[in-house]
Chain A
Amino acid sequence: MNDVLDVALRLAIVFVVFLVAPLLVGQTEHKVMAHMQGRLGPMYAGGFHGWAQLVADGVKFAQKEDVVPAAADRRVFQLAPAVALLPYLLVLAVIPLGPGDGAVGQLVDAGIFFVLAVMGIGVLGSLMAGWASANKFSLLGGLRTAAQLLSYELPMLLAAASVAMAAGTVSLTGILDAFAWWWLPWQIVGALVFFVAGLAELQRPPFDMPVADSEIIFGAYTEYTGLRFALFLLAEYAGIVILCALTTVLFLGGWHGPFGADGLGWLWTLLKTALLAFVVIWLRVSYPRLREDQLQKLAWTTLVPLALAQIALTGIVKVAIS
């Protein structure tokens, strides 16, 4: 009975984090973008600096009519937001927050593989949405999503493989246990590749070709309204949280920090994740969108060779020190 309670409690915590963290990132994005552009951003909702803006947005979304286009494939259209969102919930459950077995929602032996595999499913949601909308813009968005995913999944996997080689395990907690500070310069190329490829997989600027509003309105999500649209947005921000947390765990040492190793490890994880989330927002404000050919070129001629070079370096160093 105690075990059941323990598991239920963990899953409840994961669920709450899953609902709150993306909103935090979203609100931060509102404010950070605004201040970078010399605006104030939301100021009224909730009173203090518009802290409740996203709550208000949620209420607004819930009130809107849920429209399914007449020519759409109803069931696939309605299922797509759930397929896009749920994988991130599953991934969040296996990311270790602090040292020891207690600070993770659910231990998974092949953690890296689980995380990358399940994240890949989320993109199916975009594809389903793009196809089922019966809209040319949506279909184009879906196509761009697929093309982007096919090219960026490879460097992401290779970069993750490099860390797994370095640690000698594919378990996320195992990687953190094996971490030492000099991994940071050792794996820095892999970290950059992983983060960039992850951004592309999330379709965040500057890799937002699939949802380029000036070209194809909002890509695969063009026909969505109300709560279903909100779910897609939530998936995007949950994706940011997951990507930043994963980069933290794999490359930045997670709960390792210069001090406060006992009891404060989770704070380091959160801090690094928040910092990376800030970078994601920063990139959105400061970088222009990449064109499709530039996207493909970056993936195949830059990221893949870099990731392979990182794997070679990891292998050489690993053999040298053992």
Chain B
Amino acid sequence: MDKIIKNPETEEKSKQEKEDSKISRRGFLTGSAAAIGGAALVGTYKDASAYKEFSGWPGRFGCLTDLTACVGCRSCEKACNEANNLPKPDVPFDDSSVFKEMRRPTAHAYTVVNQYKNPKDENKPLYRKVQCNHCNEPACASACPIHAYTKTPEGAVLYNPEKCFGCRYCMIACPFYVPAYDYESALEPKIVKCVMCYARIKTGGIPACADACPVGAITFGKRSELINVARKKIMTNPDRYINHIYGEHEVGGTSWLYISGVPFEHYGFPANLPKKPLIEETKGFLGAVPVVFTVWPALFGTIYASLRHREDMEKQKHGEEEEKK
């Protein structure tokens, strides 16, 4: 199985785009004439829309984990540990005793592999690699009051410890229980989580885990293409896979996608998540803030003024009555 997909279609498309961009002399002249007329100036505003929509960085990358392929060898854990200079683990990476309990990413490990019972075959346990799913619209980033998180155009969600003050609201917000906190440190505690090997993918490489997987269970590529790959796999092997790509729609979609032979709940994936990004849940509230800021002073100011006015009127009345006496 390919660890990285190159799509011939997209390559062709970009060639064509290049050709299109070569402007013919004649076209150039007409264009200049139009520009003189000022039409070109108007043209640049033509696609301005009152409705702003951002459906994610177009060329973002992702990974597709084929849960049916994973054999639980933990090579990905080892490769991740080395690539990201993480501390040596207490138990070596070839020790399968770690499967006795469910683990999660920690301050010392970006990713862990867990073992699950196979409902189809008792003797063939299932495995799942857990790491950050790099959401399209990450809840951790929406939660952070200091903007310590960034969703990069490449797809990776990155965290900047220089900005963080350690409120850990990102951990509350993450629907996948991914960010871990370095509680042991008194002076420089920070969030620790998978970075999708950002430095490697920036220079044309692929994440260390995908590179290390001996059975090709992790495919790296453009997210849009990975969805096609996943669909094709499901369509050609309907007996092997269930018809669900986890991460295609969950919480607005994630860069890390999964296909599986059994329902995802078996692997402990949360099944109760909305399809829209979690930030949508707080938008209504945050939208009310400017309303409160403008309406409240007017409203309460008026109430105060009206009561003062009534007081004045009463005083005046009393004064008049006393004068009469």
Asked if A and B are interacting partners, one says: no
